[in-house]
Amino acid sequence: MKKTLILIVMIIIVGVLVIFCNDKRLDSNIETFYQVYLNGETIGTIKDGTYLYDLIDKNQSEIKKKYNIDTVYPPTSLKIIETSSYIAHADNVENVYQKLEENDDFTIKGYVVTIDGEDHDYIINVLDKEVFNEAAKTFVQAFLSENEYTRYINNNQSEIVSTGRIIQDMKFLENISIKEEYISVNEQIFTDATDLSQYLLFGPDPQSETYEIKLGDTIESISDANKLNVEEFLIANTQYKNENTILRVGDKVNVTLIDPQLTFVYNLHEISDETVYYDKTTVNDASMARGTSKVTVPGVNGIDRVTEEYTVTNGERSQETNVISRETIKNSQTQVTAIGTKYNAGNPNQNPVVIDGDWAWPTNKGYVITSYYTWRWGTHHDGIDISGSYGAFWGSPIYAAADGVVTYTYNGCADRGYLGSSCGGALGNQVTI
């Protein structure tokens, strides 16, 4: 009995040793491998995950040269997962790399600018976020002078002494966010602020056009011939400061239609001197022969100093103007013309002359032209926009601009019938006399 018990114990010990040794042999056969996934699908099993990353970076010298960078990264869909296995065979790393190159795009580090607007959303890829910042600054300075922009940014705008203007605030209407991400090298990635500013001003696919200046050309004539207004020409050609700049024959100018991809808005507080054109009246003069006339009191224009606030959007002044105050600096003097009424028996068919046909402003004093009869964004604006004395929110009376009667007004809104109303994107009234 005792011998039997000893034998059983020995058998158990031997069994445990055998199992232990077998487990050790099994453990010695387990190896670490790396499963490579692309877009959720397995494309290989490799022994060294680090070598694959090194291979990706090593073989992309052209990308490094193009973007002037030090590192190229794998596709964003690449996943490498460490695993333990008894597999005796691993795939060649170069073969796995080849599959990566054939089936997805390598990436570089950059910044994705997301622009969320009321009418459109889109993204812009930049290598460095300063590229976007500089391009946005150039975009702004196409609509606002560099001096005004700099003074506003540095908070040192000069106080208005007599006349002048102060920018109250400025902004983009779109929500703009910038985030660092890995970007596919096959996507458009802006590396130069000038290229990006051209994109922001002229759109993603502009029909670029240039014009060679000829003798007799002016900025106004070139603009009109190419469906631009003067302001749009100056935006596209920042080397010219105003429409009176002398042009040099043979120079080439940009006459591409602008298509702003951002909406830049700034609000102005402005004090300006406005010419008040003199009125005219006539008086009968029995001492003068019928059919003759003479100016007896010359007309003199007056000056009003107007303080107002208004908004400018991508270089275009809003129709809505808030007139804060109006002060008369110089009174106007009415022109008086004497009309002869003395009958001339020698010429009984003689009739009085028709006094000049000057136009009058079609609303009360305080008017300002906010948009002229000109090209605007590639289409012709067939009218003149006039902001009335009360601003667009309050409305102004409408008069005939010459001898006649206002017979029809239209503002596109059933519930509004005054000058300067807003409806469906159109501002103001169409007037027929």
357-412 tens-digit pLDDT: 566 677 766 666 666 666 666 677 666 777 665 544 445 677 777 666 777 776 54
Tokens for 190, please give them: 């802006």
The answer to whether 299 and 253 have CB atoms below 8 angstroms apart is: no
Tokens 């008017």 belong to residue: 367
Q: What percent of the chain has pLDDT over 70?
A: 75
Provide the β-strand partners of residue 284.
Answer: 339
Asked which of 140-154, 155-169, 187-201, 415-429 is least confident by mean pLDDT, the reply is 415-429
Q: Of 378, 431, 377, which Cα lies nearest the Cα of 402?
A: 431
Asked which of 43-52, 93-102, 226-235, 395-404 is least confident by mean pLDDT, the reply is 395-404
Quick one: pLDDT at residue 87? 61
Q: Distance between CA atoms of 419 and 426, rounded to whole angstroms?
A: 12
- Per-residue confidence band for 351, with pLDDT thresholds at 50, 70 and 90: low
280-301 tens-digit pLDDT: 899 999 999 888 889 999 999 9
Quick one: pLDDT at residue 382? 65
The answer to whether 260 and 290 have CB atoms below 8 angstroms apart is: no
Query: Which amino acid makes up residue 387?
Result: S
- Per-residue confidence band for 54, with pLDDT thresholds at 50, 70 and 90: confident
The neighbour count for residue 250, using CB atoms within 10 Å, is: 9
219 or 378, which is more confident? 219
Q: Distance between CA atoms of 229 and 218, rounded to whole angstroms?
A: 12
Beta-strand pair 121-126/189-190: parallel
Quick one: pLDDT at residue 410? 64
Give yes or no for residue 327 having a pLDDT over 80.
yes
Q: Distance between CA atoms of 26 and 127, rounded to whole angstroms?
A: 51
Quick one: pLDDT at residue 145? 84
